[in-house]
Structure 1
Amino acid sequence: MTSTLDEQLHEFLSAQLGSVPKIVDLTRVGVGRSRENWVFDLVDPATGDREPLILRRDPEGGLVDTDRGTEFAVLRALEPSGLPAPQARWLDSEGQWLGKPSLIMRREPGDCDYRVVNGDRPLAERTRLARRFCELLAEVHSVDWRSTGLGAVFEDPGEQAALAELERWDTVLRQDQLEALPEVDLALAWLREHAPASARTVLVHADFKPGNILLQGDRVSALLDWELAHLGDPLEDLGWVVQPLRHREHLIEGAWEREDLVRHYRETTGLDVDETALEWWVVFSTFKTVVMQVSGLRAFLDGRSDEPYRPTGRVLRTLLTAIAERS
């Protein structure tokens, strides 16, 4: 008989702790586009103290395949950095105990709102939050990735960061593509021809957005979802943030425009932003979004996902428009 997740979790934590744990309130939260997320509390039998935890398990399929072992290593490396990243607790990298590759990390307090920057809060408060998010991105890029040991987790692509990421996502596209996408082929040709050299290597989050940030009031309590993190060009994250498809997540019309965000990033980091290189990363980010949707559709048709993601006409038009405006 197949054991339940509750039974598997008890067995796994018993092996880690050397004693039988008390697990309460195990509940799946959200649907998610990548991982299965299960929240629970681990209770100390001697004191009754509760440790809030979250189990992240690989789904059968989703928008993109990532590795729990790598995510675990990133979180462990970031513990002394001062970034509000969750504390990683335990890893079942092969799914030997929990049925699927999984990690358990501390569950941080706070709420997540994808649209908080253009939500119901007063304009002044939303603008302050948008500025804080920009500062948080700058903090990610200022992490000393060498001293934290991230150089042992990831390869430094050096000046070739743009081409390295382009080839990475082109590989994903070719693995999952189901039909001809001439718009995407055109984008790839343009991106290869115009790929910029990277001026510096930083830790890249690669999915930076309010939807991956927990807030307690107006305070950031956690930056989540490090599964796509890698070493690369800081303009990759900046391009992801200011791309047209994410406009309403990060920008406020008339109050916090792209120029405001880029200027504040410059002032916060003390680094120059090559506008031509940034334009390339904007196009790349739109291309990456298309590839994620291609992978989502493949997972749905293979019966590994309940979400029939696919590249929409709006997304493909945005990609072509991005190229046309920069040619």
Structure 2
Amino acid sequence: MTTSGDLTGADEVGDRLRRFLADQPDARDGEITGLTRAGSGRSRDNWLFDLTVDGAVEPLILRTDPEGGLIDTDRAVEFGVLRGLEKSGLPTPIARWLDADGSALGRPSLIMRRLPGSCDYRVLRDPARPLEERVALARTFCELLAAVHAVDWPALGLGATLPDPGPKAARAELERWAGVLRADQLEPWPEIEYAIAVLGERAPRSAGTVLVHADFKPGNILLLGDQVSALLDWELAHLGDPLEDLGWVTQPLRAGEHTIDGAWAAADLVAHYERTSGNAVDPTALAWWVAFSTFKTAVMQVSGLRAFLEERADEPYRPTRRVLATMLDAVLEGVA
């Protein structure tokens, strides 16, 4: 295994990657080129590179835990989900190798195939794109979400990686994120505590279990023109209630990503989801999941704040007054 190209500032990553791939039977004679840091996301570090084996070039991405971020997730679980989805028909990356404990690559990491395309968090609000094109993209995104929920997760073996919470999915997710708050908070957050109490009193029961992406957004979708080439970032994926994803994409804090003023509102998204999936959406249960999604967003900010204060992250994410006010409004509307 040899490396080439400009690895200035990436020598340690390159050395670790070279040694790791030398131990993989299908990569040990390969050459790494073009190793480049793609930037640190809010939860993962990404390094792009090409691996050439016997003249064949495979574009890859090393996805590794940063020192700090908004959320802590398990690379082994993400790897298992991606492996399970290879035959799902969804546009997901092929997972190639895993360093679950970080013993080889320094931090828990996975390597997956890099897919073509670009992502834009605000593509639906891009004034350079014609309105009809943006509305068509919004419908496509909604249809992709319905396709995620339609995945036959038992047949794909995802039950071996992800536990099924059954009808108590809402309670399970509320307890999960309340636990994140307890672990990461450095000061009292009475507004968030109030949200936990109210949401706990009204947690709905799920009618069925589906694969939940849990961070569905344009920023996790690659596009080639107006065609979806990949759905990325499965680190939060789990089994649960389909309304969890629907609540996430219709919550007011993400309106700038999922709606188009005057042309594609949250109600349009829900109606198209119902037509595409063939499943009716319970408005009362959806209101709870919208409220939960704003709560989850606030907790993520608390985690980001702790990481910043502990010098594990560069940006001081914290719940703003807007986030807290929106969360409380959504909670009150969700239980009205």
What TM-score range do you get, normalising by the shorter chain? Answer: over 0.9
Which deviates the most, 283-292 or 259-268? Answer: 259-268
RMSD: 1.2
Matched, 1:33 2:33: no
Aligned residue in 1 for 2:328: 320
Q: Distance in 1 between matches of 2:179 and 2:213?
A: 20
Alignment of 1:237-252 (within 5 A): 237-252=245-260
How far apart are residue 11 of structure 1 and its match? Answer: 0.8
Aligned match for 1:104, one of 101, 108, 111? 111
Q: Deviations over 1:247-303 (max 9, x none)?
A: 010111211111111111001111110000000000000000000000000111111
Aligned residue in 2 for 1:68: 75
Which deviates the most, 109-118 or 9-18? Answer: 9-18
How far apart are residue 323 of structure 1 and its match? Answer: 2.3
Task: Tell whether the 8 Å contact from 1:72 to 1:103 is kept in structure 2 after alignment.
Answer: yes
Alignment of 1:6-45 (within 5 A): 6-17=14-25, 19-44=28-53
Task: Tell whether the 8 Å contact from 1:204 to 1:236 is kept in structure 2 after alignment.
Answer: yes
Alignment of 1:54-93 (within 5 A): 54-93=61-100
Task: Tell whether the 8 Å contact from 1:296 to 1:308 is kept in structure 2 after alignment.
Answer: yes
Alignment of 1:64-213 (within 5 A): 64-119=71-126, 120-213=128-221
Q: Distance in 2 between matches of 1:5 and 1:183?
A: 42
Q: Which runs of 5+ in 1 are unaligned?
A: none
Q: Distance in 1 between matches of 2:325 and 2:176?
A: 23
Q: After the TM superposition, which parts of structure 1 deviate over 4 Å for at least 4 consecutive aligned residues?
A: none
Q: Distance in 2 between matches of 1:93 and 1:158?
A: 28
Q: Distance in 1 between matches of 2:108 and 2:193?
A: 34
Aligned residue in 2 for 1:228: 236
Q: Distance in 1 between matches of 2:102 and 2:231?
A: 25
AA aligned opposite 1:86: P
Count of aligned pairs between the two proteins: 324
Q: Deviations over 1:89-136 (max 9, x none)?
A: 000111111111100000000001000011121000000000000000
Q: Distance in 1 between matches of 2:40 and 2:110?
A: 17
Task: Tell whether the 8 Å contact from 2:292 to 2:331 is kept in structure 1 after alignment.
Answer: no
Q: Distance in 2 between matches of 1:51 and 1:128?
A: 32
> Tell me, what secondary structure is at the counterpart of 1:16?
coil
Task: Tell whether the 8 Å contact from 2:60 to 2:113 is kept in structure 1 after alignment.
Answer: yes
Q: Distance in 1 between matches of 2:318 and 2:270?
A: 31
AA aligned opposite 1:33: R
Q: Distance in 2 between matches of 1:146 and 1:325?
A: 35
Aligned residue in 1 for 2:7: none
Aligned residue in 1 for 2:290: 282
Q: Which runs of 5+ in 2 are unaligned?
A: 1-10
Task: Tell whether the 8 Å contact from 2:49 to 2:59 is kept in structure 1 after alignment.
Answer: yes
How far apart are residue 178 of structure 1 and its match? Answer: 1.1
Q: Distance in 1 between matches of 2:65 and 2:20?
A: 16
How far apart are residue 244 of structure 1 and its match? Answer: 0.2
- TM-score if structure 1 supplies the norm length? 0.97
AA aligned opposite 1:142: A
How far apart are residue 36 of structure 1 and its match? Answer: 0.5
> Tell me, what secondary structure is at the counterpart of 1:170?
helix
Aligned match for 1:292, one of 300, 307, 312? 300
Q: Distance in 1 between matches of 2:93 and 2:298?
A: 29
Task: Tell whether the 8 Å contact from 2:40 to 2:66 is kept in structure 1 after alignment.
Answer: no
Task: Tell whether the 8 Å contact from 1:26 to 1:39 is kept in structure 2 after alignment.
Answer: yes
Q: Distance in 2 between matches of 1:94 and 1:274?
A: 41
Q: Distance in 2 between matches of 1:81 and 1:218?
A: 22
